[in-house]
Structure 1
Amino acid sequence: MISKKYLIVIVGPTAIGKTSKAIEVAQNYNCEILSCDSRQFYKEMSIGTAVPSKEELSAVKHHFIHNKSIGDKYTVGDFERDAIQKLDLLYATSDFAVMVGGSGLYVEAVLFGMDEFPEIDPSIRVEIQNNYQNLGITYLQENLQKLDADQFEVIEKGNPQRLMRALEVCLQTGKPYSSFLTKNTKKRNFIPIIIGLEADRSLIYERINRRVDIMIEDGLLAEVKSLQNFKEINALQTVGYKELFAFLTDEYSWDFAVETIKRNTRRYAKRQLTWFKKNEYTKWFNYNESSKTIFDYIDSKKTETEI
């Protein structure tokens, strides 16, 4: 019998404990981990992206952490290609691999593939960019909400690059950006087993607030200062960085900047859950569920596919 291959996927909101659970799972199944957190790709960003500690990285081999620089152009399609190639290599010596992260679009790209997006007329792109420069991010948010309410619900609303990308597809095609996502599932050589970690919203928010405090104590401001000359780069249009850039230019007070990081991270966690809950094949566990219970579930799904 040909040995089947399994991709154990661990998803959930930020600060829920995905990294530690992924390490336990990988150790149990003697396999390696693919990070699917698009913010952790960039080697200049560590504290604000909650990159696994040295101890965690040494416990199990990780891939796609600090593999790019903030100046590199790296799309979800690039990640899909690279992740599939890496899985092919890992499956040569193991029946299992673990993928962990909170970037929903990147998870879906690996599981189902990315659809082909249309070519964008340069005049449309220029018009959107000019309107953004003149009218601000509110222009992008309001127009995307009108043209694609589904995508607006889950998109990172403070990231102008992602907003502009979605908006230009809407204007080019007259169709919602979300209608182009995962329309045609690609055939994969692995069977996914998807684990979701969750908790009461109040507890998630408490964990987020505590994580932000720890990031500040660990030197997040110094990290952001070191990147101040690159603050317009797309990779840095993200929570934890943009708020402290605003502090460094005296747009925000210190207390307001920190509270805004917490608020925006809580909003991001809410969007993550909205995205991941759409997948009916995800088995949800409380964040502090015993590892044995999760292993038993994985083993049961593996048995099902072998019958």
Structure 2
Amino acid sequence: MIISEGSKRLQKQKPVICLMGPTASGKTSLAIELCQMLGGEIISVDSALIYRDMDIGTAKPSDEERSAAVHHLIDIRDPSENYSVAEFRDDAYELLEDIYQRGKWPILAGGTMLYFKALLQGIADLPATDDTIRAQVNAKLKEEGAPALHEWLKEIDPKSAERLHPNDPQRISRAIEVYLMSGKSLTQWHQEQALQKFPYDCLQVALAPQERSILHHRIEQRFDTMLQSGFLEEVEKLMARGDLSLELPSMRSVGYRQVWLYLQGEYDLEQARYRSIVATRQLAKRQLTWLRSWEEVNWIDSLSKNNCAIILKSLSNISI
């Protein structure tokens, strides 16, 4: 992407704020507060908020919240459509340029860590799967087993073979397929990805309560609020369309799958509630695991009352 000279000057004045964190940690309210203090605009980093007509179960910002601060990348896809990580990266870059051009402060806020990773660390534009090559690799797997596949990977991509467990046939197969389709190892693809430097100064903030029990309580409370706000009716309307299924990324969002199965009679409402809360807790755990391995991230407690001030102080300490 070409960054204009005007944008280069602005980006030196206004580092991008990346507000990350697990679900139900309070990112939306803090992002809005930052927008109001800094004259900013929010770019949503959430793979569920992109879908129209999925408002309650995604905890989408309310009309009042969206009038308090400009939000981008919300309601940009129908639930029947896909939206790739690469598309997010392209859209986010375009929005960053536009926000800087208008003299505003960009705030990336959300919990889809794969989106943040693609934006900040680059993305390997891996070749699409080829059915013939996949069949070839699967045949070897079936005939000789995962250890033989791992030995094959050692010959063509030793670093990936060292990284992947011998009993992980799915990832080993994919690494071999990438090499057979492109002539380049997965390691080489990732090395090229690392060269895609994020062109903006950036402050990365992780928002989460210090006690995991607090987050679990918030998740449970929020799901009960969703039920009271008409979440069942929302999923009923989506089912009634007739063109959606549980195979789509939109319907695999936490809560939607469980409520869908409840409405199909797979289990009762209490089971749907319990399974939804457990799935959301598991999502939060994965998000926290990502963040703990993240470099250059500043942790702040969701329960602190001066988080805006903490972030502003961190901004002033960035060497530009």
TM-score range, shorter chain: 0.7 to 0.9
Choose from 179, 190, 201 the match for 1:191: 201
Distance 2:61 2:21 in 1: 16
Give the aligned partner of residue 29 of structure 2: 20
RMSD: 2.8
Q: Does 1:236 align with 2:247?
A: no
Distance 2:273 2:192 in 1: 36
Which deviations, in whole Å up to 9, do the C-alpha atoms of 1:271-304 show, x marking residues without a partner? 010011211211001102233x543444444443
Give the aligned partner of residue 210 of structure 1: 221
Give 5+ residue unaligned stretches, structure 2.
1-7, 138-162, 180-184
Q: Does 1:290 align with 2:301?
A: no
Instruction: Give the secondary structure class of the aligned counterpart of 2:255.
Output: coil
Which deviations, in whole Å up to 9, do the C-alpha atoms of 1:1-26 show, x marking residues without a partner? 94414110111110111100111111
How big is the shift at 1:148?
5.3
1:26-37 correspondence runs (5 A): 26-37=35-46
Choose from 163, 177, 183 the match for 1:172: 177
- The percentage of counterpart residues that share the same residue type is 32
Cα gap change, 1:249/1:296 in structure 2, threshold over 3 Å: closer, same or farther?
Answer: closer
Distance 2:226 2:135 in 1: 37
Give the aligned partner of residue 223 of structure 1: 234
2:259 alignment partner AA: L
Give the aligned partner of residue 259 of structure 1: 274
1:226 alignment partner AA: K
1:112 alignment partner AA: Q
Instruction: Give the secondary structure class of the aligned counterpart of 2:102.
Output: coil
Q: Is the 8 A contact 1:116 1:180 kept in 2?
A: no
Give 5+ residue unaligned stretches, structure 1.
129-146, 153-163
How big is the shift at 1:183?
4.3
1:140-155 correspondence runs (5 A): none
How big is the shift at 1:250?
1.4
Distance 2:36 2:124 in 1: 34
Distance 1:38 1:182 in 2: 25
Q: Is the 8 A contact 2:17 2:108 kept in 1?
A: yes
How big is the shift at 1:106?
0.6
Instruction: Give the secondary structure class of the aligned counterpart of 1:194.
Output: strand
Q: Is the 8 A contact 2:44 2:74 kept in 1?
A: yes
Give the aligned partner of residue 19 of structure 2: 10
How big is the shift at 1:94?
2.2
Which deviations, in whole Å up to 9, do the C-alpha atoms of 1:259-278 show, x marking residues without a partner? 00001100110001001121
How big is the shift at 1:113?
2.0
Q: Is the 8 A contact 2:82 2:249 kept in 1?
A: no
Q: Does 1:48 align with 2:22?
A: no
1:93 alignment partner AA: R
Distance 2:191 2:275 in 1: 31
Which deviations, in whole Å up to 9, do the C-alpha atoms of 1:168-187 show, x marking residues without a partner? 7346248889x849941423
Cα gap change, 1:303/1:197 in structure 2, threshold over 3 Å: closer, same or farther?
Answer: closer
Distance 2:191 2:58 in 1: 26
Give the aligned partner of residue 110 of structure 1: 119
Distance 1:167 1:69 in 2: 34
Give the aligned partner of residue 82 of structure 1: 91
Structure with larger Rg: 2
Distance 1:106 1:296 in 2: 25
Give the aligned partner of residue 305 of structure 1: 319
How many residues in Structure 1 have an aligned counterpart in Structure 2?
A: 273
Give the aligned partner of residue 201 of structure 1: 212
Normalised by the length of structure 2, the TM-score is 0.77
Give the aligned partner of residue 261 of structure 2: 246
How big is the shift at 1:109?
1.7
Distance 1:109 1:245 in 2: 31
Cα gap change, 1:273/1:124 in structure 2, threshold over 3 Å: closer, same or farther?
Answer: farther
Distance 1:296 1:255 in 2: 41
Q: Is the 8 A contact 2:126 2:178 kept in 1?
A: no
